[in-house]
Chains A and B, each alone.
Chain A
Amino acid sequence: MARPVQSHVQPLVRVEQLEKSFGNVRALDRVSFEVEAGEWIAIMGPSGSGKTTLINILGGLDHPTGGRVVVDGQEIGNLGERELTRYRADKIGFVFQQFHLVPYLTALENVMLAQYFHSITDEKEASEALARVGLSDRLNHVPSELSGGEQQRVAIARALINQPKVLLADEPTGNLDEANEAVVLKLLHELHHAGHTILVVTHSQAIGNLADRRVELEHGRLARISVPSLAKE
C-alpha cells in the first residue's frame, strides 16, 4: 500500500534537536526525526504536545528557538523573513483545519492566489488542479457557497498548485463530517501514491494508520516513532 522508503537517499526533511519556547513554556524539546521524499508522516499526540508548533516551524511560519531543521537541503532556522517567504512559496503546501480560503475570491481565484505569490498565474492549470480534486463544477463559487469538504479540497488544490516539496496538513479533516473526511483522506492517499511527501498533524488513529510512519509527541518531546500495521503490510 505505502510506497517503499529509500533509506540510502538524503532525507528530504531532517529535524535535529529542535526546540521552541514561548516565554517560559517549552513547546518543543529536543525533537529529532527525518522524513524521506515520498513518505506520509502522521504527527500525533495530545493537545498541547507541540504538533502544530512543529508543523509551523517546518512550514517556515515560525522560528525555532534551538536545533536545526533542514528541508530539501536548506536549513530554515537561519532564514530571514524574505527568505522564509520564498521558502514557503517554493517548497511548502499548506492545508489547514479551518481551510483558510480568502472569502471574497472564488475557488479558482483562491488557487490562482498561490500561483500569483509563487510566480505567474495560469488559469487553465488552476482549473485542472480543481478538476483533479473533483471541483470542476465549482470553479466560480466563493467559499461561502461551498461545503466544508469542498472548501478543504480547494485548499488541497491550492496547496499543490506550485508542486511543493512537502505538503503540510494540520488536522485537515478536523472540521469535516465522515463523508467529507473520507473524500479528503482518499485525496491524500492518491497524492501519496503520486509521490508527494505529506506530513499530517492529526488526532485521528484512523489517519495515523494510513501513514507510513507516526511521529508521536508528548509535552513537546518525541515520545516514539512507529510504523502502523497497515504500512507494515
Chain B
Amino acid sequence: MFLRILWKLLGASRGRLAVALIALTSGAAVCSALLNVNLDAERKLTQEFRTLGANVVIAPMTSGGSSEAALEDAHVLDRIAALNLPRIIATAPYLYVAANSGSQPVILAGTWFDQVARMNSWWKLEGGWVTSRDDQDHCLVGFTAARQLGLVPGSSVQLRSGDRNVSLTVAGIVTTGGAEDNQILTNLDSAQSLAGLPGSLSLVQLSVSGTPREIEGVTHTLAENLPGLDVRPVRQIAAAEGTILKRIQGLLFWTIALILILSMLGVLASMAALAMERRRDVGLMKALGGTVPRIMRLFLAEAGTLGALGGLLGFLVGVLLARWMGERIFGVAISPRLEVLPITIALSIGVALAGASPLRLLGRVRPAEILRGE
C-alpha cells in the first residue's frame, strides 16, 4: 500500500513536482558535470602541464665543484628508456658547448628536436622547426642570440669551438622566455662533434606526467637506477602544478556546494506550496489513525524518489555537459565516470529531503481544524 500511495502522490501534484524535478535535475546535472570534470581535470591538467617544459632534470653530481662536468655515459638515455616508465612523456638530452660565431661568443645546445618540441609546445617560432632528430644541417636560434648575430630564418651561421667548425642553416627563431633565447639549438651529434665530446651530455631534461607525488615517485625510481647522477624535480614547476590543481578542485567544490544550495531553494519553494495543498490530506490521514512518522514517511519517500529521479536524469545530462565542457576547456571530451552516478543521486536525494523540510510542518496539522475547513 505504501508504494501504491507513493505512486499516486507522485501523480497527484505533477505540476509542482515537475518544477521541483527540474530544479533537482538542473542542480544534479551541473554537479555531475563538475564532478566528472573534477575527476578528469587532474589527468587533463597534468597533460597540459607537460607541454610547459621539463619538470625533472638529470645532471652530473656537483660534488667537488665540477658542475660543468659532462655526463660521461651517453648510454644514460638507454638506461632511462630501459626502465620503461610510462609517465615519462619526453626525454631531451642536452650538451652545451661554448662556441663563437665570428667574434661573438654563443652557447650551442645540442639536443633532440623531436623531444624538445614535445615538452615545449608553447615556444613561439618564427620560420620552421627542425623536425628530425638526425638533421645535422639546421639549427634553431634563440630570439636574443638571433638579434645579436643578425640571423633570420634561412641564414647560414658558422660556429667554431677550438679548432673545430660547423656550418648550419637557421630553420627558425624561437622565443622561449628562458635561457634558450640566448642559445643556438642544434642536433646533439653536431654539438658533440664540435665540442669533441662524442657520447657526452651536460644534462637530460625529462617531462614526467602526474601529480607532484607521482612525479616524486618517478624521480625516486630514476635516482635508484642511475647511481652517481643527480636526479631532481624542478620544484617550482611541480609546486605550481600542485597549487593550480588544488585551486581548481577548491573552485569546483564550492561551485558544487553553491549549485546544490540553489537547487535546494528551488525544491523548497515547490514543496512549501505542496505542503499547503497537502494539509487537508494530512488532516484526514491523521483522523483515520495515521501517525505523524507514518504519514511523513510517505511524503519524504515522495521527495526521496523525486531526488533519485532528478539525480539520475541530472547524471545523464551532466555527462553530456561534461563532454561539452571538456571539449571547450581541454580540447578533448571528458569521459564519464560511473562513480559519479551514486554520488550525484545521493547528493540529489539529500537536496530533495532538505528542500522537503516544509512538508515536515504537516506533522503539526490539527485534523479537527482541517476537517472543519479552517
How far in angstroms is the closest Cβ of chain A from B345? 27
Residue pair A105, B5 in contact (C-beta under 8 Å): yes
Nearest-CB distance from A179 to chain B (Å)? 26
* Inter-chain residue pair count (beta carbon < 8 A): 73
Q: Which residues of A contact B287 (CB under 8 A)?
A: 59, 61, 88, 94, 100
Cα separation A94 to B371 with both chains bound (whole Å)? 11
Q: Can you list, as one digit per residue, whether each of A153-189 has a CB less than 8 Å from chain B (1) or not (0)?
A: 0000010001000000000000000000000000000
Q: Is A30 an interface residue (CB 8 A)?
A: no
Could you say which residues of chain A place their CB within 8 Å of the CB of B294? 117
B56 to A: closest C-beta gap in Å: 68
Say which residue of A81, A98, A113, A121 sits within 8 Å of B288 (CB atoms): A113
B368 x A112 contact (CB < 8 A)? no
Interface size class of B (residues with CB under 8 A): 20 to 34
Q: Of A96, A98, A117, which is in contact with the most chain B CB atoms at under 10 Å from its CB?
A: A117
A100 partner, pick from B8, B12, B284, beta carbons under 8 A: B284
Q: A62-B368, A104-B8, A104-B12 are in contact. Are A117 and B289 (CB under 8 A)?
A: yes
| Size of interface on A: residues with Cβ below 8 Å to B | 31
Q: Which of B280, B284, B288, B291 has the most CB of A within 10 A?
A: B288
B39 located at the interface, meaning its Cβ lies under 8 Å from any Cβ of chain A in the complex: no
Cβ of A98: which chain B residues have Cβ within 8 Å of it? 371, 373
**Chain B: which residue is nearest A118 at the CB level?**
B289
Interface positions of B from 1 to 42, Cβ below 8 Å from A:
1-2, 4-5, 8-9, 11-12
A96 to B284, CA, bound (A): 10
User: How would residues 297 to 331 of chain B score, 1 for a CB under 8 Å from any chain A CB and 0 otherwise?
Assistant: 00000000000000000000000000000000000
Q: Which residue of chain A lies nearest to B2 when distances are taken between CB atoms in the complex?
A: A116
**In the complex with contacts A59-B287, A82-B291, A116-B1 CB distance below 8 A:** yes
- A89 with B368, Cβ < 8 A, contacts A104-B8, A104-B12 known: no
Residues of A contacting B9 in the complex (Cβ-Cβ under 8 angstroms): 104
Across the interface, B291 reaches (CB within 8 A) one of A61, A85, A158, namely A85
Smallest CB gap from B289: residue in A: A89
Q: Which of A56, A109, A113, A158 has the most CB of B within 10 A?
A: A113
Are A104 and B11 touching (Cβ within 8 A)? Answer: yes
B367 at the interface (CB under 8 A from A): yes
Inter-chain CA distance A82–B280, complex, in Å, is 19
Which chain A residue has the least Cβ–Cβ distance from B284?
A100
Binding site for B on A (CB under 8 A): 52, 56, 59, 61-62, 81-82, 85-86, 88-90, 94, 96, 98, 100, 102-105, 109, 112-118, 121, 158, 162
